[in-house]
Each structure stands twice: as C-alpha cells, then as structure tokens.
Amino acid sequence: MIIALGTDHAGFTYKELVKVHLTQAGHTVIDKGTFSPDPVDYPDFIRPAAQAVLDGEAERAIVFGGSGNGEAMTANRLKGIRCGLCWSEETARLTRQHNDANVLSMGARQIPEDLALRIVDIFLETPFEGGRHLARIAKLDL
C-alpha cells in the first residue's frame, strides 16, 4: 500500500517511527514532512498528506500532532477525506469498519509508541463493512 505521512513538530518522532514500521512491512511511504522537531504550523504538512489521497498519489494517509485534533480537523476540510482521530485499537477498527476512513490521525502526546504502531496496523488491515454505512458515508460530502 502507498501511504502518505504528515506531521507537525509534536508528532515528528512518531512519524519517523511509523515510517520505519511501514517500510519494514513492505509499504511505500510518501513523507510530506515536517522533517525535524523544529516548530511548524501543522496545516502546512497535514493538508499535503491528505491531498495525496485525493490525488491518487497515496491510498491512505497517516497524520500526527500533539493531540491529533488539529490534524484531523485540517484533513477533514478536504472534500472526500474521512480522517479518524484514533487513540485505541477499537477506535482504529471502527473508523475503518463504519466510516471507511482514508486518513488516520494520532496524538503523539496522548498514546504510547507501541499502541500507535498497533493502531496503524489495524487501520491498514481493517476493511470497510459497507452495507448500512454506505448511505451515511455518502452524506458526508453533500
């Protein structure tokens, strides 16, 4: 799978950790930055990661910040993006099963590294259930 990554300074360490994890698992990573822990504005890096999904450059994106909230809000401003903020294995599973999320947001200051990696794996492996959820998803972009 081709996965775009984007982060601000608060999520930089997690982005680097996830990049290695994804590459070792055989995925292709498109890194949209930031490229250091120096302070930056998260929309400058989150929007390009989400846009990569819309443009067909990536199949999914994963974005990071301190809480993940601003990053999810930024990604969700783009029509066609369904970004789920996840903090547990169950939220990762449900954002895929019920919401067909194409972008995952995580807060590096909120969850430990090992949980972040499990959330990434669940997000990538869990299929969308379809069915009753299809009509709800269609209403998001009205």
Band of residue 142 on the pLDDT scale cut at 50, 70, 90: confident
Question: What is the predicted pLDDT for the residue at 8?
Answer: 98
Q: Which residue do the tokens 């930056």 mark?
A: 40
**What's the average model confidence in pLDDT over 108-133?**
97
What is the percent of the chain with per-residue pLDDT over 90, rounded to a whole number?
A: 99
Q: How far is CA 141 from CA 51, 76, 95, 104, 117, in A?
A: 16, 11, 17, 18, 30
pLDDT tens-digit series, residues 4-54: 999 999 999 999 999 999 999 999 999 999 999 999 999 999 999 999 999
**Annotated catalytic sites, by residue?**
71, 98
Q: 105 pLDDT exceeds 90?
A: yes
